[in-house]
Structure 1
Amino acid sequence: MKKKICVVINNRANYARCKSLLVELKKDKRFELSIIAGASTLLDKYGLAKKVIENDGFKIKKFIYSIVEGEVPITMAKSTGLGIMELSTSFIEIKPDYVVVIADRFENISVAIAASYMNIKLVHIQGGEITGSIDESVRHAITKFAHIHFPATNNAKKIIKQLGEKKENIHVVGCPSLDLIKKNNLNVNQKFFDLRPSLNGILKFKKGYILVVFHPVTTEFKTIEKQIKELIKVIDILIKKNFQIIWLWPNVDAGSDIVSKQIRIYNMRQKKNIFLYKNFTPEDYIKILKNSKLIMGNSSSGIREASYLGVHAINIGSRQNNREKGKNVHDVSCDANKILKVFNKKIKLRSCPKSKLYGQGNAAKQIIRILFKKKINIKKEFKRI
């Protein structure tokens, strides 16, 4: 009898983190895969990731519209509640044996709550990590709902055990997004960018470029405008020095509208050498990251994928505080002068150390093997240390 697995994808990062798993589940006849696409994956302003999913050959079983517009703290809370209501209806129709939830974020706490109250076994990928935002609280909360855990690192496993989870239910597999790196040719050329024009032009590949990904930090909502303006000061100086900038649109967290508004204002004033994108396919993003001079901002891809690839990362602000980092990462506060000082050092370095801190690039196959063999009790018990 097939095991019914439902994977909920609520944002573009979720898809990148689980695509390799979806590929394995789809072709494995021991499993019946259902995909739910929700939240910002359905919104054009965030790149309409559902189209990327469908173009990759996956059939989406259900669409969950749960994002309350406004991108402020109260709309995040309301979106979480709406997500619980809509997901519970979908789960009762699909009747999965397992629901897979990825990492953290407010959209995904809805998945954990809905599945748990409906007595559906919850599989959590990338739990146990420490960061400097509300996402950490959500991540640990999902851990307490989950029945089986697939963290990326040994340190994350230790933290999950500290939260009272049984060691036999914790399996270190690495980050599934690294599977895509291992399987794909990462070389690009001018034709690659010709076929992928930005919102305001085509990048000249031979000139090189800096990749910028900066998201709002929800717990610092009152200072987000100041932070993005500091970063724009840096970008303005780099553009005037003839650096090309690929800037990826922020996520849907509270403060997103503030960040995107400042990006639009700057783009209207300075159109040269800046290339804005709403979204990439997971493979395209990896290629763009790999071929960049460095990545700047506060995305976890500067910590995970960039470390594995050997790409320098300037990690700005508190969003990734205390996350395990490779030697490619340089932390800096959100101050234009300090960022520029770090940039001027990093841009001169020709090589960057690689790290397998977040895995070997074989996470999906390990997850499949364990899920098929594992017998899970729906009743959880707290394990004292």
Structure 2
Amino acid sequence: MKRIAVITATRAEYGLLFPLIKELRKYENSKFVVELIVTGTHLTEEYGKTKENIINDGIRIDQEIHIPVKSDSRLDIANNQAETLRKFAQLFNDIQYDAVVILGDRYEMLMVAVAATDMHIPIIHLYGGDTTEGAMDECIRHSITKMSYLHFATNEESRRRIIQMGENPKRVFNYGATGTDNILKSEKLTKKEALASVGLPYDCKYAVCTYHPVTLEEGNIELLIMNFLKALSYFDDVQFIITKSNADQGGMLINRVLEREAGNFSNIHIFSSLGRKRYLSLIKYSEAVIGNSSSGIMEAPVFHIPTVNIGDRQKGRLQSESIINCDTDVHSIVEAIKYALSDEMKMLCCHVQNPYGDGNASPKIAKKIMETLQTGMKLKKKFYNIEIND
């Protein structure tokens, strides 16, 4: 029997893997199985125990691997990585999967990739080749790329970067982003249902927000999140639905500040997690997406919703015209939000083009994975040289 593992450690990553898991499991039979391994923040109360969202989606969970998620310091992250490596090396030693599917650039996924490499298990990587100059994700993403055999980029620029890193074009594909599949094909709540689920009236004006730490900046995290909250306070006619930060270094501090300050703002509503379906439904009817999450870059444009992208965390990532980039000071954020809420921006967003695929990535990726499993994946890779004109 052939067996592949799909790994997820966070709510955002699971949301992007969801349509692919469904497509891969269409191929399950007596000779092939797709195991979902859940780890990281999915299993912790402080990050919303989002394992329950997976269960509510009707997705079978095959393995649960508990790892630490403390993220106040660099040493916390390093210790988390060490334990992740130890536990996944043991898992992959006990179960010799035919392939492991990893998405993106999380520090936990780097350790999963190292464990798979140590145990001679081929890696299938999604969302490689992107650039995010403001975060450690940049080097982690490229490191996973070099350990991987099969690559599925979300856009043509990223596909070319993967090839530039020495990966053979025959193993690098651009079918678009699975996140676009979610938006265009998955069932969503009505506006009334979505707003009722977060305790807001049907006719309110609102925005969806997420603010993550910028892991390559040494600035005062508390100052940055307070600037963000102060900027939101200028718009008392808008309700702000804020999802807590992830488990990157500084994420816990951001969440503590959000919890501490929430009571001082009548129009701010904090959630550990909204779940895939509710999150996308709320974006669909929102005035804007605000913060520094990749979903504002890659998903909001599909809904023709403006994004206020704060700071450098997503710098370098392919963007559509609906993205408004701004600095981290209060004035810059306020001005960017004003423009996002303007009639001019709403008109522009009506015609914006999404650069991340047509919503059919997941079936194509699943088919290519199955074809590759049949032909086999060799761990010995020849570096693909490209000609450089000096």
TM-score in terms of structure 1 length: 0.94
| AA at the equivalent of 2:93 | I
2:248 paired residue among 253, 257, 262: 253
Aligned-partner SS, 1:171: strand
1:190 paired residue among 189, 192, 201: 192
Aligned 8 A contact 2:225 2:254 in 1: yes
Structure 2 counterparts to residues 361-376 of structure 1, below 5 A: 361-374=359-372, 375=375, 376=377
Tell me if 1:265 matches 2:260. Answer: yes
| AA at the equivalent of 1:50 | K
Question: Could you tell me which residue of structure 1 aligns to residue 201 of structure 2?
Answer: 204
Q: Distance in 2 between matches of 1:358 and 1:71?
A: 33
Q: Distance in 1 between matches of 2:252 and 2:233?
A: 20
Question: Could you tell me which residue of structure 2 aligns to residue 180 of structure 1?
Answer: 182
Structure 2 counterparts to residues 15-54 of structure 1, below 5 A: 15-29=14-28, 31-54=32-55
**May I ask how many residue pairs the two structures share in their alignment?**
376
Structure 2 counterparts to residues 300-315 of structure 1, below 5 A: 300-315=294-309
Question: Could you tell me which residue of structure 2 aligns to residue 91 of structure 1?
Answer: 92
Aligned-partner SS, 1:66: coil
Question: Could you tell me which residue of structure 2 aligns to residue 142 of structure 1?
Answer: 144
| AA at the equivalent of 1:17 | L
Aligned-partner SS, 1:315: strand
Cα shift at 1:92: 2.5
| AA at the equivalent of 1:269 | N
Q: Percent identity?
A: 29
Question: Could you tell me which residue of structure 2 aligns to residue 163 of structure 1?
Answer: 165
Question: Could you tell me which residue of structure 2 aligns to residue 116 of structure 1?
Answer: 117
Cα shift at 1:269: 2.1
Aligned-partner SS, 1:206: coil
Cα shift at 1:268: 2.4
Cα shift at 1:68: 4.5
Aligned 8 A contact 1:73 1:218 in 2: no
Aligned 8 A contact 1:72 1:253 in 2: no
Question: Could you tell me which residue of structure 2 aligns to residue 5 of structure 1?
Answer: 4
RMSD: 1.5
Question: Could you tell me which residue of structure 1 aligns to residue 379 of structure 2?
Answer: 378
Q: Distance in 2 between matches of 1:286 and 1:313?
A: 14
Aligned 8 A contact 2:100 2:116 in 1: yes
Cα shift at 1:336: 0.8
Aligned 8 A contact 1:62 1:90 in 2: no
Cα shift at 1:128: 0.2
Aligned-partner SS, 2:234: helix
Gaps of 5+ in 1: none
Tell me if 1:232 matches 2:234. Answer: no
| AA at the equivalent of 1:143 | T
Cα shift at 1:123: 0.2
Gaps of 5+ in 2: none
Aligned 8 A contact 2:189 2:278 in 1: no
C-alpha offsets along residues 179-224 of structure 1, whole Å, 9 cap, x if unaligned? Answer: 1212134462333333x23xxxx11231120111100111224421
Q: Distance in 2 between matches of 1:251 and 1:68?
A: 10
1:214 paired residue among 203, 211, 218: 211
TM-score in terms of structure 2 length: 0.93
Q: Distance in 2 between matches of 1:138 and 1:362?
A: 27
C-alpha offsets along residues 210-264 of structure 1, whole Å, 9 cap, x if unaligned? Answer: 11110011122442122111111101222xx221110111111111122112212
Aligned 8 A contact 2:191 2:282 in 1: no
Q: Distance in 2 between matches of 1:86 and 1:306?
A: 36
Aligned 8 A contact 1:7 1:100 in 2: yes
